[in-house]
Structure 1
Amino acid sequence: MSAGLALGALGMAQPASAADAAPDGGGHANAGVKPGARTTSASTSAAIPAGYTIRGIDVSSHDHNLGPIDWPAVAAGGAKFAYVKATEGHTYRNPYFAEDYAAAKAAGLLVGAYHFARPDGRDPVTEANFFIDNAQFAKDSQTLVPMVDIEWPYWSGAPTCYGLTTTEMSAWIKSFTDQVKARIGRPVMIYTNTNYWNPCTGNNASFGANPLDIAGYTATRPPLPAGWTTETIWQYAAGDPSTPGSYSQNVFNGDYPALTRLTGAPAVAAPIALRARINSRYVVAESAGAKPLIANRTSVGLWEQFDMVDAGDGFVALRARANGRYVVAESGGAQPLIANRTSVGAWEKFTVIDNADGSISLRANANGRYVVAENAGTQPLIANRTSIGPWEKFDRIATS
């Protein structure tokens, strides 16, 4: 993703030639450099950031300057995933996309498609449809959610932020991301850099539910854009298309099972148990889910196991292993929690709050209140607290 541009003023009129700036698709994921610069340093010399173990690469047609990509060698070198440029704007298709997409999957990598956004086209819905029509997204266990590359224009004389105001840019991104989600049922990943996002969107903080690929070629992870508290992927080094095997380098923020949850058919995560901090006892779907949840068990069996299911838009649902039914904040949170629902609606959605001491709290979407182990765990759980104290804290315990 290429970031080279000449700076202009916000809202500056777009040159007439901008739409035809690079008919061969000049953009590629390179947002980690400053506006007006192009990086040529070899990514293979960059050290893998401390604390990350899952590596990947991203490529575009630029990476075919020296011939085909050796995908088995990429996999043998330790990469677990790859993003391949599919499209740019309304008309450009990467001629190497299908070849790379198939070969990377054949080498065993998890693979996703990315689109270089051209907001100067002023038609985000058409652009999103063009991307998805060519992205080969599949609801399988090897295809990663698509990604949109939103960064500085790359052609000489381009206006800052493509000539859009912050309001126009935010609206463009929302329309694009909404259309992708409508087409595939999953939030699109956003690739960007804080130095672009904050000034060009006016510090828009409303996209935090989309996974983030942050670009920054620094020893430590760069500051995140407005709206995000963590990154999903960090592109920590840019590739050098003039050097064999030098591709943009990425790390995933999590383990491999977590990476698989970004695919079209996420692997089923191991069930969890919830242990109340107030009494160190486990929450149980009493009588196989026929009675309200209560934190009174000293060990974990089938009735104490729950699947934490992604319910979209940053929410989770808890599904009891005992009966396969979802936990509900009954009567809008006025009654104790019980695992008796067959589908997820507003009352079955919760937000997971990560507390500073390593515990979690659950906030019910039904009423915006926190789940409490009432009377130190001697009474059923209920979502009726307005703040987090000892009784509202739980440990999330992996059961396998």
Structure 2
Amino acid sequence: MSRRLISVLVSAGLALGTVFGVSQPVSAADSAPDGGGRANAGVKPGARAATASTTATTPAGYTIRGIDVSSHDHNLGPINWPGVATDGYKFAYVKATEGQTYRNPYFAEDYAAAKAAGLLVGAYHFARPDGRDPVTEANFFIDNAQFAKDSQTLVPMVDIEWPYWSGAPTCYGLTTTEMSAWIKSFTDQVKARIGRPVMIYTNTNYWNPCTGNNATFGANPLDIAGYTTTRPPLPAGWTTETVWQYAAGNPSEPGNYSQNVFNGDYPALTRLTGAPAAAAPIALRARINSRYVVAESAGTKPLIANRTSVGLWEQFDLVDAGDGFVALRARANGRYVVVEGTKPLIANRTSVGAWEKFTIINNSDGSISLQANANGRYVVAENAGTQPLVANRTSIGPWEKFDKIATS
């Protein structure tokens, strides 16, 4: 009998019942000697996917691929990390810990070998809220995660998903208020330790019912699990994903690892590291006329999409404004773009407030749309780009779509 099956049977024997909301004893947190949890949130509670992820097609619109692994991926021997890199993968997440005491015995070797192969690499933790001590659990994770403020170490990730043992209560026996408080304490402690927000890996069908549709974690990068051909619906609080785990992997098959895609290009991926590279300025090209948005007359006139090439006046810095928002700073004058109610957008502000914040909407066709925080409306290239940009649309159509283009 395999050690994995033994651990599942032991865990099942410790479970108190199958009724939703029944608390697990704290001792169950360490019932799996080999660490029973792995990033597999795209399946229902207590299940393990057995589909072959190596044959899954990379979702359209995504070009940066990665994998995640745990001790289960060593069932057939060591991981060939140079081969992973040769296959075109650019990043990996490796399970480091679970609960308050489990350490993946393969973590250190996988972490080092993946980096040596040239991948960007992060550590992940399988959360056990039934332990009821999020601060201790977060400290245990960071103490063992080998996070470094360098250009190859990705921000850590916390895996918040279904219990993996039969008979466990779906939300670990916590109420929605208790679950939300546990997650907040854990994520706050990680940020206090490393100075960066931890990535949250989850599934909408877990997150929404178990947190009561808590929408306050949108500032944390999201790794959404969904083994579907199109990206699954996002949990409450997020308007876009950072990573999508689109196939589950099968540890009983050689090289069949969980498959991920990054929502962006490689320079954007590097900004998830401990020492993120400075972001290159971007240009916005309107889909409706293929013209670039310009801060006209060095920003003294409203923005308009009428340029056929990119110069200084067509470049903008995408600035993190916190809580999932961004601000656009014109390179021409160093001023921020503002939404002044119904007036056209103009780059004339020296600081970021509510009117200078936008949410980036990633559309399924690879374009983006900008939703103004000031009024919740979408920015439009009015009259097919012949008039200045204004944030007054309630839905996204062709005139509200832009291509985000790195200029260097």
TM-score, normalised via structure 2 length: 0.77
2:355 and 2:282 map into 1 onto residues whose CA distance is: 21
Could you give the per-residue CA deviations for residues 233-289 of structure 1, whole angstroms, max 9, x where no partner exists?
232333333333332222333433333333334444443334679999765446645
Could you give the per-residue CA deviations for residues 45-102 of structure 1, whole angstroms, max 9, x where no partner exists?
4444455433221111222333322210111122211100111122222232222112
**TM-superposed deviation, 1:187:** 3.1
Match of 2:36 in 1: 26
**TM-superposed deviation, 1:383:** 7.6
CA RMSD of aligned residues (A): 4.2
Counterpart secondary structure, 1:163: coil
Q: Any conservation in 2 of the 1:4–1:153 contact (CA below 8 Å)?
A: no
Structure 1's 22 and 227: CA in aligned 2 closer, same or farther, altered over 3 A?
same
Structure 1's 5 and 307: CA in aligned 2 closer, same or farther, altered over 3 A?
farther
Counterpart secondary structure, 1:191: strand
Structure 1's 3 and 258: CA in aligned 2 closer, same or farther, altered over 3 A?
farther
Say how many residue pairs are matched. 398
2:390 and 2:201 map into 1 onto residues whose CA distance is: 39
Could you give the per-residue CA deviations for residues 141-174 of structure 1, whole angstroms, max 9, x where no partner exists?
3222221111122234433211111221122222
Q: Any conservation in 2 of the 1:5–1:37 contact (CA below 8 Å)?
A: no
Structure 1's 2 and 320: CA in aligned 2 closer, same or farther, altered over 3 A?
farther
**TM-superposed deviation, 1:132:** 2.5
Counterpart secondary structure, 2:54: helix
Could you give the per-residue CA deviations for residues 181-205 of structure 1, whole angstroms, max 9, x where no partner exists?
3443433222122332233223334
1:65 and 1:94 map into 2 onto residues whose CA distance is: 13
Structure 1's 209 and 2: CA in aligned 2 closer, same or farther, altered over 3 A?
farther
Q: Any conservation in 1 of the 2:380–2:392 contact (CA below 8 Å)?
A: yes
Structure 1's 257 and 19: CA in aligned 2 closer, same or farther, altered over 3 A?
same
The one of 221, 243, 246 aligned to 1:233? 243
Q: Any conservation in 1 of the 2:15–2:167 contact (CA below 8 Å)?
A: yes
Counterpart secondary structure, 1:362: strand
Structure 1's 36 and 6: CA in aligned 2 closer, same or farther, altered over 3 A?
farther
**TM-superposed deviation, 1:27:** 1.4
Gaps of 5+ in 2: 1-9
2:83 and 2:13 map into 1 onto residues whose CA distance is: 30
Q: Any conservation in 2 of the 1:3–1:151 contact (CA below 8 Å)?
A: no
Q: Any conservation in 1 of the 2:239–2:361 contact (CA below 8 Å)?
A: no
Q: Any conservation in 1 of the 2:46–2:163 contact (CA below 8 Å)?
A: no
2:116 and 2:149 map into 1 onto residues whose CA distance is: 17
**TM-superposed deviation, 1:293:** 6.0
Q: Any conservation in 1 of the 2:147–2:153 contact (CA below 8 Å)?
A: yes
Q: Any conservation in 1 of the 2:36–2:164 contact (CA below 8 Å)?
A: yes
* Percent pairwise identity: 90
Counterpart secondary structure, 1:311: strand
The one of 194, 201, 220 aligned to 1:184? 194
1:235 and 1:57 map into 2 onto residues whose CA distance is: 8
Indicate yes or no: 2:219 matched with 1:209.
Answer: yes
**TM-superposed deviation, 1:219:** 4.6
2:200 and 2:226 map into 1 onto residues whose CA distance is: 14
**TM-superposed deviation, 1:352:** 3.7
Structure 1's 41 and 268: CA in aligned 2 closer, same or farther, altered over 3 A?
same
Match of 1:329 in 2: 339
2:377 and 2:260 map into 1 onto residues whose CA distance is: 38
Q: Any conservation in 1 of the 2:226–2:246 contact (CA below 8 Å)?
A: yes
Structure 1's 4 and 323: CA in aligned 2 closer, same or farther, altered over 3 A?
farther
TM-score, normalised via structure 1 length: 0.79
Structure 1's 106 and 361: CA in aligned 2 closer, same or farther, altered over 3 A?
closer
**TM-superposed deviation, 1:339:** 5.0
Match of 1:116 in 2: 126
2:286 and 2:271 map into 1 onto residues whose CA distance is: 27
Q: Larger deviation: 9-18 or 390-399?
A: 390-399
Structure 1's 229 and 327: CA in aligned 2 closer, same or farther, altered over 3 A?
closer
Counterpart secondary structure, 1:308: strand
Q: Any conservation in 2 of the 1:3–1:36 contact (CA below 8 Å)?
A: no
Could you give the per-residue CA deviations for residues 319-352 of structure 1, whole angstroms, max 9, x where no partner exists?
222344544568xx79987656666555643334
Structure 1's 7 and 289: CA in aligned 2 closer, same or farther, altered over 3 A?
farther
2:226 and 2:274 map into 1 onto residues whose CA distance is: 27
Structure 1's 60 and 306: CA in aligned 2 closer, same or farther, altered over 3 A?
same
Q: Residues 368-383 of structure 1: matches in 2 within 5 Å?
A: none
**TM-superposed deviation, 1:138:** 2.9
Match of 1:390 in 2: 398
